[in-house]
A and B are shown apart, each in its own frame.
Chain A
């Protein structure tokens, strides 16, 4: 294995499963030291076992500002610096359409997907400035580009993350911080979150969504993790403010 992230340190949220877990594994394989966080302690333990000792785990609620302070302090204590933040923590909610969704669901989803991403970027920038630079990676979605009736608040949150990312990229670039900020827009990925869509929508509607990927299948977490590694590495040093679409052609057709 190459060492594209040698000497780099990372924090990955939502790392107990799916894209977060696979991103942490791939970054550790590429030589990074990785702090993995989630509210799912059991899942986190499973991910940690796959990191070959190249990191540590932390119970971390991304919706809580103090929890962010603690997580970043722990990274600084263990690794001495923070250079990569991957905001993978994300949720969907039931009845997520314009008629049925109630405030509780909207607010819960926004707290994780949007407000959590905002707080993470804000606090990480402070550390990355001291480290001489860094890479912020936010997980948006093809649903931050295309609309979906049954993902109303999800679409809104991912559209917001997409533009939050650009605002951050412009700011950090203009300030000369050497901090890049990019969004990744995955298609439907076979993760616990992605597969929960089948449960809520039923097989027929789910298959219709899968068929929108022109390659004829859902993605796997590793498809996205490869992009995370690229954006985390110095190979992407001229890449900032983008939305990297990893969607099997979902938005192509």
Chain B
């Protein structure tokens, strides 16, 4: 089914032929770009998001290889429903890309308990719930899990206290999953990706909602080397590689994709 050329709608590759991928946060940003690129390489994709209409629009744009579903990553029952839908629509499930994430401002002093829990629930707990579904489902047949951490999971940012903690958690969650999968011979690879500043709606909204968007923009630009701009497709291409069998020996790794921003 998935090797059927008629479902291919963009790109000309076949690096992900036969893969059936659930991409969370599929309505925008890195999730949307990843779903499009995976489909372009022959995968069938399910775009999942709390923004169900947004996910549906992206899926429509991709074409027949893509479907969409509602998913609140914070809720185990929502995951169960999204997985059931994925298996039904795609004929199985081999790939989970955990892109769903939120960004909230707050230092250790200004982060409220509500914001703390909101960020940890979506970014860390949501990633765990998804990975658990994936390992439970794929442990007989193998598969790939890609977790979106961040350079914020490697270096600290004063304004992103909860976000930093959540991404540091995802970084180690990933390694614990890999240790389990490798020691039990499950054939499931799990890696974390650590993007620098990527021009997505998440980042744009964060900057727009700041007290001084011009200064905030300059601050975010300073996180990247001069003249370097990160796009969702940059990360999407890396995810395609991690989903494909080309990366079969890459497991439990932390892949930084930041234009060199964290080198200094």
Residues of chain A whose beta carbon lies under 8 Å from any beta carbon of chain B: 65, 97-99, 101, 103, 106, 110, 114-115, 118-119, 121-122, 125-126, 143-172, 174, 241
Contacts and interface: CB of A to CB of B under 8 A. Distances in A.
Given A147-B172, A164-B165, A171-B159, 5 more contacts: A98-B181, A114-B169, A152-B177, A163-B164, A163-B165
Interface stretch (B26-34, B59-67, B107-115, B220-228): B107-115
Interface string B126-159: 0010011001100100000000000011111111
B139 A99 contact: yes
A60 B139 CA distance: 42
Given A115-B116, A155-B175, A164 B161 contact: yes
Contacts of A115: 116-117, 120
Interface of B: 76, 107-109, 111, 113, 116-117, 120, 124-125, 128, 131-132, 135-136, 139, 152-161, 164-181, 183-184, 252
A52 to B, nearest CB: 34
Chain A interface helix/strand/loop/mixed: helix
Given A149-B183, A163-B153, A103 B172 contact: no
Contacts of B179: 147-149
A159 B179 CA distance: 15
21 contacts: A97-B176, A98-B180, A106-B125, A143-B176, A144-B172, A147-B172, A147-B178, A148-B179, A149-B183, A150-B180, A151-B176, A152-B176, A155-B173, A156-B176, A161-B168, A163-B152, A163-B169, A164-B108, A167-B156, A167-B160, A171-B109
Contacts of A155: 172-173, 175-176
A164 B175 contact: no
Contacts, number: 146
Contact of A121 (B108, B160, B177, B180): B108
A120 to B, nearest CB: 11
Contacts of A166: 155-156, 164
A106 B135 CA distance: 17
Contacts of B120: 110, 114-115, 160
Contacts of A157: 169
A79 B158 CA distance: 30
A143 B174 CA distance: 12
A146 B131 CA distance: 18
Nearest to A114: B165
B261 to A, nearest CB: 15
B25 to A, nearest CB: 19
Nearest to A124: B108
B175 A65 contact: no
A162 to B, nearest CB: 5
B19 to A, nearest CB: 21
Nearest to A146: B175
A147 B170 CA distance: 11
- Which 7 pairs between the two chains have the least Cβ-Cβ distance? A147-B175, A166-B156, A163-B168, A159-B172, A160-B169, A171-B158, A149-B180
A119 B113 CA distance: 8
B110 to A, nearest CB: 9
A216 B108 CA distance: 39
B216 to A, nearest CB: 16
A172 B109 CA distance: 9
A15 B76 CA distance: 35
A167 B158 contact: yes
B264 to A, nearest CB: 15
Contacts of B125: 106, 110
Given A148-B176, A167-B108, A159 B136 contact: no
B172 A143 contact: yes
Contacts of A149: 176, 179-180, 183-184
Contact of B111 (A122, A148, A158, A161): A122
Contacts of B135: 98-99
